Every structure is written in structure tokens, then in C-alpha cells.
């Protein structure tokens, strides 16, 4: 009785693993500069940029660490403020301003 062969499974996009295989391609010097500048503009290295673009994954800009830390700190403070408001410990809450802040934080973190 022969063992059944299973076809190889395609890689899972974005899954971290042992990246030991190489893919070489030839491009013009102008294309190289363009690819490198696009990767740098969104805060990614060229390898990660090309990997994500080649796998059809979303290539999005990374937030600088300082900005991300500021957003997280602001959102924590906002959460504490909202908890106080829900407990009735604040006299007046500007809900429209709160919604604007929450939307801005959500947009910045995407």
C-alpha cells in the first residue's frame, strides 16, 4: 500500500517563522532607489516592504515609537476620565469632544 502524498501548503502571509530562503531579482538602479525610498517613507526596511507587497498584504506606515507611546498614554488618561464620568464623579462631560478624541485616537492607531 502506497502512502498518499499531500501537496505542499502555501505559506501563511504575515506568519513569522524562519526566513531562511532567498529570492533574488534584478531591477534597475532607479527602481531600487524608488523601492528603498518608499520603504523608508513608511518606516519599514526594504526587505519587510518587499515581502509584504509581494504577498499581497497591506503595506502601511508605522508610527514612530514616541508618537505611539503618546497615543497610548493619552488613551489611558481618556479611559480614566470616562470611568469617572460613568461613576458620576464629574459635573459635566462634553460628549462630542470625547467622541472626537476617541475617533482621532482610533484613526492614528490604524
Put simply, whether the predicted model's pTM sits higher than 0.75 gets the answer: no
> Crossing angle, helix 29-41 and helix 46-54, to 10 degrees?
100
Q: What is the pLDDT of residue 110?
A: 67
Residue 69 forms part of a structural domain: yes
**Is residue 58 located within the same domain as residue 75?**
no
Residue 2 forms part of a structural domain: no
**Is residue 55 located within the same domain as residue 69?**
no
**Is residue 82 located within the same domain as residue 49?**
no
Rounded CA-CA distance 14/52 in Å is 7
Q: What is the pLDDT of residue 33?
A: 95
**Residue closest to 51 by CA, chosen among 27, 26, 9, 16:** 16
Domain that holds residue 36: 25-62
What tens digit of pLDDT does each residue of 49-104 get?
998 888 888 888 777 777 777 788 888 878 887 888 788 877 676 677 777 777 77
Neighbours of 34 (CB within 10 A): 12
Amino acid at each position: 500500500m502506497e502512502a498518499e502524498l499531500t501537496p505542499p501548503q502555501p505559506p501563511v502571509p504575515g506568519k513569522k517563522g524562519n526566513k531562511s530562503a532567498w529570492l533574488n531579482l534584478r531591477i534597475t538602479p532607479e527602481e531600487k532607489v524608488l523601492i528603498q525610498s518608499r520603504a523608508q517613507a513608511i518606516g519599514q526596511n526594504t526587505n519587510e516592504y518587499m515581502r509584504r507587497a509581494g504577498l499581497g498584504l497591506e503595506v502601511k506606515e508605522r508610527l514612530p515609537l514616541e508618537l505611539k507611546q503618546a497615543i497610548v498614554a493619552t488613551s489611558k488618561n481618556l479611559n480614566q476620565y470616562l470611568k469617572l464620568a460613568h461613576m458620576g464623579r464629574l459635573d459635566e462631560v462634553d460628549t462630542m469632544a470625547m467622541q472626537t478624541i476617541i475617533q482621532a485616537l482610533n484613526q492614528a492607531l490604524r
